[in-house]
Amino acid sequence: MLRAERLHPAPAAALLIASALMCFADDMSSGPRAALVVGYLLLAPGYAVLPFFGREHWLLHALLALSFGMALAVGIATAMSETGWWRVQVGVSATWVLVVGAVVWRSWRNRSAVALLVRRVR
């Protein structure tokens, strides 16, 4: 079974806010939308699932997060291209489901630690 490290509320909130913004990306102008979508697809999946791998060093942690995000984006794009079913919205939605699911699962799994961290912040 995967053992997730404790989830701090700040990164979890940032990932969930970015995920919520992705729902409204179609209504944004092209500049902010491009930055949001590219940043989200490259960084959010890695930071959502990386605590399952542990984090010894901050540079390795950041590079693994970026690498996982890039690998996921390339994998989804390759699968859509090879099947002839190119739907960008489906690829972004699959990434969104992964990110939100990982954050919710980690929060639920470590709910006592999250409750302690939230009480400490107040």
Tens of pLDDT, residues 86-120? 888 888 888 889 888 888 887 777 777 667 766 76
Cα distance between residue 110 and residue 5, in whole Å:
8
Contacts of 69 (CB under 8 A, 6+ apart): 41, 42, 43, 44, 45, 46
Number of H helices, E strands in the chain: 5, 0
Which tens digit of pLDDT belongs to each residue from 25-70? 888 888 888 888 888 888 888 888 776 555 566 777 778 888 888 8
Is the Cβ–Cβ distance between 54 and 7 less than 8 Å? no
**Cα–Cα distance, 28 to 34 (Å, whole number):** 9
Structural domain includes residue 26: yes
Residue 65, domain member (yes or no)? yes
Whether the per-residue pLDDT at 79 is higher than 50: the answer is yes
Cα 113 to the center of its chain, rounded Å: 21
Does 68 fall in a domain? Answer: yes
Give the E-state strand segments of the chain in sequence order. Answer: none
Give domain status of residue 55, yes or no: yes
Tokens of 49: 């699932």
**pTM above the 0.85 mark?**
no
3 in any annotated domain:
no
Q: Are 9 and 118 in contact (CB under 8 A)?
A: yes
Instruction: Determine, yes or no, domain membership for 46.
Output: yes
Q: Is residue 4 part of a domain?
A: no
Six-digit token pair at 33?
Answer: 């939308």
Residue 1 lies in a domain: no
Q: Considering its fold, how many domains does the chain have in total? A: 1
Answer yes or no: is pLDDT of 6 > 50: yes
Q: For residue 49, what are the domain limits?
A: 9-121
The token pair at 74 is 């390339």
